[in-house]
Amino acid sequence: MAQKKELPVQIIDKSGKQETGQFILQEFDSSDRTLRAIKMLAMMWIMAGITLFIPLAHFVLVPGFLIAGPVIAWSRYKMERSSEQVTGTCPACHKPLHKKVEAKDYPPLWTYCNECRDPLQIREP
C-alpha cells in the first residue's frame, strides 16, 4: 500500500533567511511497485493493440509501444518513491508556499516562489 510521507525541510531564500516546511512524497512497497509496473505494461500493450488499426502509423507505433512497455514498466518498478509537493512559507515574502515538484525530485533542490519569484533552496534540516 502506497504511503504518504511528510519530511520536514528547510526553505532558504537567496539572502539566507529560513523557514520550515514539509516535503510530501509517496513511498511504494514492493507489491505497489509490481502493481504499478504491471499496469504500465498493460497500458502500453493495449496502446499497441489500438494503434494496430491506424494505417501507416502502425509500422512505427506498434513496435514502439511493444518495446516501450517493458522499458517503462521496469523504470516504474525501480521507482521506490514519488515526490509530490513542497508546502511551507516563503522566507522572502512570508506568503504560503505550495509548490509541485517532479516525481524524481528530492531535497536538496532549487525552486522559486510563485508570489515573489525569488529562488528558494529546499533542503533537509
| Residue 120 binds to Zn ion (criterion: CB under 5 A) | no
DSSP line for the chain = --EEEEEEEEEEETT--EEEEEEEEEE--HHHHHHHHHHHHHHHHHHHHHHTTSTTTHHHHHHHHHHHHHHHHHHHHH--EEEEEEEEE-TTT--EEEEE--TT--SSEEEE-TTT--EEEEE--
Pick the stretch among 24-32, 61-69, 81-89, 107-115 that binds Zn ion (CB under 5 A). 107-115
Nearer to Zn ion, 69 or 91 (CB): 91
Out of 27, 29, 80, 115, the residue judged to bind Zn ion by CB under 5 A? 115
| Residue 18 binds to Zn ion (criterion: CB under 5 A) | no
- Shortest Cβ distance from residue 105 to Zn ion (Å)? 19
Nearer to Zn ion, 20 or 31 (CB): 20
User: Which residues contact Zn ion by CB under 5 A?
Assistant: 90, 92-93, 113, 115-116
